[in-house]
Amino acid sequence: MSGVVYLVGAGPGDPGLLTVRAQQLLATCDAIAADALANPEIIEAARADNPGVEVHDVGKRGGSGESARQEAINDLLVQLGRDGKRVVRLKGGDPLVFGRGSEEALALAEAGVQFEIVPGVTAGVAAAAYAGIPVTHRGVATSVTFVTGHEDPAKAETQTDWAALARAGGTIVLYMGVKTLPRIAAALVAGGMSPDTPAAAVQWGTYPRQRTVVGTVTTLADAVEREGLGAPVITVIGTVVGLRDEISWYDRKPLFGKRVVVTRASAQAGSLRAALASLGAEVLELPALRVVPLDPEALREALDRIAEYDWVVFTSQNAVAFLWQSLRVAGRDARWLAGRKIACVGPATSDALLARGLDADVVPGRFVAEGVLEALDERADVKGCRVLYVAAEGARDVLPEGLADRGCTVDVVPVYRTASDGAGSGALRDALSSGRVDAVTFASASAVRGFVEAVGAELARRAPAVSIGPTTSDALRAAGITPASEASESTIDALADATARLVGAPDSQWSTA
């Protein structure tokens, strides 16, 4: 059986701009052959969704010449197709816009290998849009030309008629043209374009590190050089650039241009990362903590005797997940807890319970162990009860001691521990020591420990710390770090908000003031 090669556009960078079709194929294919310009985050996500997928990095530059490299890629695609694989050939932007996707399609057609083409969002449109520049606008630009800057106008063999483009009067979107920009600008002006025509260069469009430089067709090249913008850059030339003053939006987000560190355990970092990214931040992730399961025997025994308990208490989603695992391994489900009352520490834990068919009886307003005790004090059915506390190793004693004070018998059953994960901390140490980190977020006391272990006590104090709540703030102080800000309530959104208030631009579009 012959395979299929999908020539897929990955979009310009922001993983949210991937098409639904691309995402489905990435999640189900046998192999991915990725370009240098496809965002590595997209490939990481595909590996997570599709474990075992074979990834060929064909984006490496240098070495053999460009055409030899393209030929090797064509051969690889043909080979994978002949091996019967479903292959995603992932290319930055749209595969057929200066992407050589059509050359690959020709090679596949010639070899008789089945292929499909999945268009993507091209950088020339998307980088402009993220810079607040529409490529057409009624009454301003009625046409747009995508043109490659690879063609040096100074060379005799150039195929592009720059004078004709200058006369056409529409928007010009230049790909791959940072180095040739001075000569292209000169050719356009020589061809009759007004030297005052607005122009903008957008580097790393749609990524949080996007940078935009604005000038005129005559001044832009110098400005780009002065600001040190290098590939990948999209250059837009035309009156539409002027609209950016009013409709720029991405670079007005409160955390745009800010680097914020996330220190949560990697399994849970996603929601905080997403909250910070939606505020415009560039997120550096320290997988500070790994969740390590402990011997499940103690929990299994406790579950065998579940009828002896009146209450089951959870202070983390992880504990819920491990309890559920133990139930399932024993062929049980939520019904096994029937008749028990359940208390948990906050909304994330209660959501994890609800997802498994268990609605917590107690979720405190204050998401710390003390809050659980306060909430339990409001009830008449706690005093003298038997309590199963499914916990992390080394959890604070506040809860078991407080329950004991209320005459309860408490069995603390640790089901997991958190361990620091050194991987990736080198890059973070560099960023901290060179002052390129604007804030570090802490969503748990154990994240504080993990961060200090990973980067060392001295570097851990370099950037402002934002804490999710009082317990985490105490842990920071204990580590010699003064919290610069604390979330108004212990939720991921409040933590992201506190970060924006601390380091965000005061005049941002969504000023949080």
List the catalytic residues. 35, 60, 176
Among 98, 256, 322, 324, binds ligand SAH (CB under 6 A): 98
Among 3, 93, 153, 402, binds ligand SAH (CB under 6 A): 93
In the chain, the amino acid numbered 76 is L
In the complex, least distance from residue 43 CB atom to ligand SAH, rounded to whole angstroms: 15
Q: Of 98 and 367, which has the nearer Cβ to ligand SAH?
A: 98
In the complex, least distance from residue 229 CB atom to ligand SAH, rounded to whole angstroms: 10
In the complex, least distance from residue 236 CB atom to ligand SAH, rounded to whole angstroms: 11
Query: Which listed range, 70-78, 202-210, 277-285, 502-510, lies at the site for ligand SAH (CB under 6 A)?
Result: 202-210
Chain position whose Cβ is nearest to ligand SAH: 93
Binding mask 397-436 for ligand SAH (x = CB under 6 A): ----------------------------------------
92 binds ligand SAH (CB under 6 A): yes
Q: Of 10 and 303, which has the nearer Cβ to ligand SAH?
A: 10
Binding mask 103-142 for ligand SAH (x = CB under 6 A): -------------------xx---x---------------
For residue 304 the two structure tokens come to 């065998």
CA distance 290 to 419: 5
The residues near 305 (Cβ < 8 Å, ≥ 6 apart) are none
144 binds ligand SAH (CB under 6 A): no
Among 74, 206, 420, 491, binds ligand SAH (CB under 6 A): 206
The residues near 373 (Cβ < 8 Å, ≥ 6 apart) are 398, 399, 402, 403, 406
Q: Of 53 and 200, which has the nearer Cβ to ligand SAH?
A: 200
β-strands 409-420, 289-293: how paired?
Answer: antiparallel
In the chain, the amino acid numbered 153 is P
Q: Of 233 and 303, which has the nearer Cβ to ligand SAH?
A: 233
Q: What spatial distance separates the first Cα and last Cα of the chain, rounded to whole Å?
A: 62
For residue 317 the two structure tokens come to 């989603």
Q: Of 90 and 141, which has the nearer Cβ to ligand SAH?
A: 90
Count of residues that bind ligand SAH according to CB under 6 A:
23
In the complex, least distance from residue 248 CB atom to ligand SAH, rounded to whole angstroms: 16
204 binds ligand SAH (CB under 6 A): yes
8 binds ligand SAH (CB under 6 A): no
13 binds ligand SAH (CB under 6 A): yes
Among 97, 344, 390, 454, binds ligand SAH (CB under 6 A): 97
Among 3, 81, 99, 504, binds ligand SAH (CB under 6 A): 99
Q: Of 122 and 446, which has the nearer Cβ to ligand SAH?
A: 122
Classify residue 225 by burial, with Cβ atoms within 10 Å: 0-12, 13-18, 19+.
middle
Say if CB 470 and CB 225 are below 8 A apart: no
Sheet holding 211-216, edge to edge: 144-148, 171-175, 233-237, 198-203, 211-216
Classify residue 457 by burial, with Cβ atoms within 10 Å: 0-12, 13-18, 19+.
exposed
For residue 285 the two structure tokens come to 């992730």
In the complex, least distance from residue 12 CB atom to ligand SAH, rounded to whole angstroms: 4
CA distance 323 to 377: 25
Query: Which listed range, 108-116, 181-189, 229-237, 268-276, lies at the site for ligand SAH (CB under 6 A)?
Result: 229-237
Q: Which of residues 163-182 bind ligand SAH (CB under 6 A)?
A: 175-176
483 binds ligand SAH (CB under 6 A): no
> Residue 387 has what DSSP assignment?
E
Among 32, 58, 217, 233, binds ligand SAH (CB under 6 A): 233
Q: Which of residues 29-68 bind ligand SAH (CB under 6 A)?
A: 37
Closest of 301, 305, 346, 299 to residue 323, by C-alpha: 299
Closest of 79, 64, 100, 85 to residue 6, by C-alpha: 85
Mapped onto helix, strand or coil, the DSSP state of residue 233 is strand
CA distance 379 to 345: 16
In the complex, least distance from residue 20 CB atom to ligand SAH, rounded to whole angstroms: 18
Closest of 86, 124, 107 to residue 8, by C-alpha: 86
205 binds ligand SAH (CB under 6 A): yes
Q: Of 238 and 450, which has the nearer Cβ to ligand SAH?
A: 238
Say if CB 272 and CB 495 are below 8 A apart: yes
For residue 279 the two structure tokens come to 């505020």
In the complex, least distance from residue 277 CB atom to ligand SAH, rounded to whole angstroms: 16
For residue 95 the two structure tokens come to 């595969």
CA distance 211 to 200: 10
Query: Which listed range, 21-29, 227-235, 350-358, 428-436, lies at the site for ligand SAH (CB under 6 A)?
Result: 227-235
For 76, 96, 176, the CA distances from 102, given in Å and listed in that order, are: 16, 6, 18
Q: Of 131 and 387, which has the nearer Cβ to ligand SAH?
A: 131
CA distance 194 to 216: 9
Maximum Cα–Cα distance across the chain: 92
Binding site for ligand SAH (CB under 6 A): 12-13, 37, 91-94, 97-99, 122-123, 127, 175-176, 202, 204-206, 231-234
